[in-house]
Amino acid sequence: MACLRLVLAYDGSGFSGFAANPGVRTVEGVLRDALERRLSGQVTGFACAGRTDAGVHASGQVVSFDAPEGFSTDEAELHRMLTSLNRMLGPEIAVLSAEEAPEAFNARFSATSRRYRYLIWNQPAPDPFTWRHTWHVPQPLDVEAMVSAAACLPGEHDFASFCRRSSVEVDGVERVAPTTRRVLRAAWEASSASEMRFEIEANSFCRQMVRSLVGTLVDVGRRRLSVDDFVRILRAADRSATGPVAPPHGLCLHSVGY
C-alpha cells in the first residue's frame, strides 16, 4: 500500500475539532469519508500533525494515510484525487497538495516542529469581515509589554501553567503527560494598524498551550499583569496561576516542519 501525504487548510468554525469523534462533525471524520468514497476503499494508518481543538483553523495541516491496495500514485491520478476531494470538501476544507510519501512517513511522529498563529483585532469596534478568525479585544494594549513577555518563551520550559493536563499510558499504567516543550520562536507582530499577530513555533505543544499563553499575554497588554508576573507564572508550573484561555477562533495551525 502507498503512503500518501496531504496538506490541508480549513475553517474550523463548523467542526468539533480535528480528531474523529462519533456523533459529532470533525475535520477528520469529513475528510476520511471523502477519501474513502474517492478511493473506493478503507483508509488505514491515518495520522495528522496537530489535533486542533473545536473552532481552531489550519492553513498548513499535514495528514498521512495508507491508500487502499491498487491505488495508482502517478502524478495524474494524484491530481485527479486532489481535484475530486476539493469538490467534495470545499469551501470549508481545501486540499492544497497531495503526494506519495516515504513508507515510514507519519504526519505526527515524523514532524520536528509546528508553527501556530494567533490573530487579535484590537479596535473598539469589531470587524464584520475578520471576526471568524480574530479575537476582538476592544481595550488598548501595551504591545511593548506583550513583546517583552513573549521574549522569555524561546528555549525549553515546563509549560504546566499553560496546559490542560492529559494522561498517557506507559507500560499499561496511566501517567500524567509531560509538559516540557522546546519553543523555537515566539513573537508578536502588528500585521496592520488594527490587527496583531502572535506566532509561536515549538517541537510540539501541550493541549490549549497556545491559547493559554495568548490569554495571559493579553492580560499583560491590558496591564492586569506585569512582565515579571508573566515570568513568575511560567516558572510556577501551576495551572491555577495563569490568566484566561483565549478563544479558539483566533488560532490557526500555520505550518509543520519535517
Q: Is 53 a catalytic residue?
A: yes
**Span 228-247, pLDDT tens digits:** 999 999 999 888 888 899 99
Is the four-CA dihedral 172, 174, 179, 184 of positive or negative sign?
A: positive
Pick left, alpha or beta for residue 71 (phi over 0 → left; psi -120 to 50 → alpha; otherwise beta). Answer: beta
Beta bridge partners, 116, equal 200, 253
CA distance 205 to 47: 16
> Where along the chain do its domains lie?
3-100, 113-257
**Span 107-119, pLDDT tens digits:** 999 999 999 999 9
Choose, from 53, 142, 228, 238, the residue flagged as catalytic.
53
CATH architecture of the domain covering 113-257: 2-Layer Sandwich (3.30)
- Please list the pLDDT of the chain residue by residue as tens digits (258 residues): 799 999 999 999 999 999 999 999 999 999 999 999 999 888 899 999 999 999 999 999 999 999 888 888 889 999 999 999 999 999 999 999 999 999 899 999 999 999 999 999 999 999 999 999 999 999 999 999 999 999 999 999 999 999 987 756 555 666 778 999 999 999 998 878 899 999 999 999 999 999 999 999 999 999 999 999 999 999 998 888 888 999 999 999 999 999
SS3 203: coil
Domains 3-100 and 113-257 share a fold: yes
Is the four-CA dihedral 168, 116, 153, 162 of positive or negative sign?
A: negative
Torsion of CA 202, 203, 209, 212, to 10 degrees: -10
CATH architecture of the domain covering 3-100: 2-Layer Sandwich (3.30)
